[in-house]
Copies of this chain bind each other. A is one copy, B any other.
């Protein structure tokens, strides 16, 4: 095992290729870049051979330094362990690779100080564009970055940042959920959400929910934020009469609710219906499965990158907001008919 302290020195460079091929660096540069058309076939061939024999790889750092194009995209994620973030990131990454970009992922763990550090780091790497999926405190840094490069928000708005936004059509999603619950015969709906820490999508879902409930005389609705008392609150909710259901505003809420319901000894999902935003792979495993509104995360990620690319290519259109629609995935947790039957059977 050798030391790597100065490993870079040993790498084959453009000069090596030029010497090996008996041409100038400029020609090699042209071969590497988009000016290959300017080269005679003979020279191009010699260069190609030299490159292959030496295993030459152009140094992106140097290219970036010269041209100002690093082919690097940064992504700031609030919580890398949230399946939604991962799914979107997967979409972004795929799009990046397809267009010759690489992705620098920065997870903030919902921590402002980490967000600050990462933003500083990203700037220092001359990334060409930034995808933001955090609360976006440190507005000053973000604004500074935005002056230097295109920026696109994912899922959550950051108010003073006037930039493209890609995410879910929250009002539509909430309408789909509430409407589905109503159709299935539920009359009392409890929206369970993570704490409203300023995340715009959470707020939108909450507001839309209130509006949706107000529009539907047949329904009663309430809102609950996740906290230590979740189980108690659910206990109270379960004690109510009539067909009732939970609407979990994201995967985290769905996990917490399912856990709490289980702890309460609730028979899933006969005592209470459940519909959740986001579709996680374990939803089918609980009770008769959890009905979900799946977000098109792949498309969201790809679109985010696409926005960046458009801006990088000089698009100066006004900022856009891309709202995607979720897909209703029907499972057992919202079929009270069958559930009621089952309950009666048990009670007999």
Name the distance in Å between A134's Cβ and chain B's nearest Cβ: 14
Contact: B7 with A68, CB < 8 Å?
yes
Name the distance in Å between A244's Cβ and chain B's nearest Cβ: 20
Let me know if A239 is at the binding interface, CB within 8 A: no
Contact: B312 with A4, CB < 8 Å?
yes
Evaluate whether A90 and B80 lie within 8 angstroms (CB atoms) in the complex, with A126-B8, A316-B3 already known: yes
Let me know if A124 is at the binding interface, CB within 8 A: yes
Evaluate whether A125 and B107 lie within 8 angstroms (CB atoms) in the complex, with A4-B149, A7-B148, A114-B97 already known: no
Contact: A1 with B285, CB < 8 Å?
no
Let me know if A311 is at the binding interface, CB within 8 A: yes
- Which of A2, A61, A280, A311 neighbours the largest number of chain B CB atoms within 10 Å of its CB? A61
Let me know if A138 is at the binding interface, CB within 8 A: no
Interface residues on A, range: 35 or more
Contact of A68 among B6, B89, B90, B319 (CB under 8 A): B6
Closest residue of chain B to A65, judged by CB? B61
- Set of chain B residues within 8 Å of A147, measured between Cβ atoms: 7, 10
Distance between Cα atoms of A212 and B345 in the complex (Å) = 46
Let me know if A86 is at the binding interface, CB within 8 A: yes
Distance between Cα atoms of A213 and B277 in the complex (Å) = 44
Render A298-317 as a binary contact track against B, CB cut-off 8 A, 1 for contact: 00000000000001111011
- Set of chain B residues within 8 Å of A281, measured between Cβ atoms: 255
Copies assembled? 2
Render A101-143 as a binary contact track against B, CB cut-off 8 A, 1 for contact: 0111111010000100110111111101000000000000000
Let me know if A262 is at the binding interface, CB within 8 A: yes
Let me know if A87 is at the binding interface, CB within 8 A: yes
Contact of A93 among B2, B3, B80, B148 (CB under 8 A): B80
Please name 4 further chain A to chain B contacts, defined as beta carbons within 8 Å, in addition to the given A7-B148, A61-B70, A80-B86, sorted by A numbering: A4-B148, A57-B120, A93-B105, A262-B285
Measuring CB to CB, which residues of chain A are less than 8 angstroms from any residue of chain B?
1-11, 55, 57-62, 64-65, 68, 70, 72, 80-81, 86-87, 89-90, 93-94, 97, 102-107, 109, 114, 117-118, 120-126, 128, 144, 147-150, 162, 255, 258-259, 262, 280-282, 284-286, 311-314, 316-319
